[in-house]
Structure 1
């Protein structure tokens, strides 16, 4: 029997892109998946769009949070509901290439790794290629990730049984980094699948496009509240993240 892959997708006011995101999952060459979409009380037509897809495809499971919780609590809900042996992540405005799941699952089994990620390319809001690829490191340890985590959410897959249940306290920004740290804390190492298998959409209003200075407080909260480090240690890792970000900013992107 094929392994089920659970796909975690939080949504909030994603009516412009969610249909295309779902279609990129439905186009996968590996078909044994479930897509767990959790909505954070959208005020646009996101709910109607997702419900229409779910009515036509039983692999799509749709949930709505009872109150605002941000992407972190939406991901928590999806992870709790997941039935898959493997868990993958895809945000509501990003896309996968058709062979993404098939290639990543085969690599993880062959290499016997519990945490895996890959490269991805950038597109604009209209879906046009920006001819830029973001490169991920060959290996990522827990201690290296503490200093700065340069992998894309849309590229990650982990072995659910090997890692166990992961739940993150609410953190409105950098909650994906918190997830990777909690996973790596258990399995110690992540491995690169050296292929470009996804498209990350640059959206002007997205959380990740905000001021990097404003993000510092969320980095601090990540270490202080999520990792439970003392204040000085949390400040140290926050400062390290700033230096690592600027050091890697150009090195992790290549022109296509």
Structure 2
């Protein structure tokens, strides 16, 4: 059972060595690596080529022009040939048993389409800071309706299940993984395992740091699309997600306000919250 590791690269030259080492150190050896470069402006291509030279398990492709994350991940999946696939960001790493753990789950459960595991949240030097919680979806709810759509690293999926959907949305700039997770949940069963398989690096250039309100906007689009496919209303789910985002930001800036009681802190708080309130009001109309 071949595993396709999918790497969508853009300007990750300084981190790719760690990513590469974590791949070749996998205990499960039946894998291929599909790398698509989104026209990086650093020396990513030179770095990647030098590392993968002579290893035919690695294949490097290029977008014709810079297309963004959604298109690049779609491009990766189009070249995959493995029965099982999973995305690995070029600035992150896998634990040595990651592929083996995922392969075992799919071999033992023919009806599942997607498997979530857990990850270490690390600093820029890959030193662990915290661990993601084990997610438990209540009985009678789906991943979509549960509405707690935090990143689920490492995630693996069955390629035949993916091909039965309308695949990744090439136009998405954020929430690409959420869009994919919703679609795969519709194609088969979802399984969650209590195993750390992934090291998620947090640094200044992380896509997840590129503006919470932007991620929220694309997450709302993914939710709306999924609800339309399933023939259900998106209002309740969207309101739950918005409320969680708003509460998290309000709490953060409330603490700031009480720590530094002045008008400047209040203005900072309202500036940060306003994008959420604007989206919320529009969706409520």
User: Residue 252 of structure 1 corresponds to which residue in structure 2?
Assistant: none
C-alpha contact 1:220 1:235 (8 A) present in aligned 2? no
Secondary structure of 2:4 counterpart: strand
Over alpha carbons, which structure has the higher Rg?
Answer: 2
Shift of 1:78: 1.1
User: Residue 120 of structure 2 corresponds to which residue in structure 1?
Assistant: 121
CA separation in 2, counterparts of 1:32 and 1:179?
24
User: Residue 76 of structure 2 corresponds to which residue in structure 1?
Assistant: 78
User: Which structure 2 segments of 5+ residues have no match?
Assistant: 250-285
Comparing both structures, which one devotes a greater share of its residues to strand? 1
- C-alpha distance 58-136 of structure 1, shift in aligned 2 (>3 A): same
Deviation beyond 6 Å, 4+ runs, structure 1: 246-249
State the TM-score, normalizing by the size of structure 1: 0.84
CA separation in 1, counterparts of 2:233 and 2:16?
39
**1:1-256 matched pairs, under 5 angstroms:** 3-112=1-110, 113-130=112-129, 132-139=130-137, 143-146=142-145, 147-152=147-152, 154-164=153-163, 166-187=167-188, 189-224=189-224, 226-227=225-226, 229=228, 233=233, 236-244=236-244
User: Which structure 1 segments of 5+ residues have no match?
Assistant: 250-256
C-alpha contact 2:174 2:214 (8 A) present in aligned 1? no
RMSD: 2.6
Higher relative CO (Cα under 8 Å, sequence separation at least 6) belongs to 1
Aligned length: 242
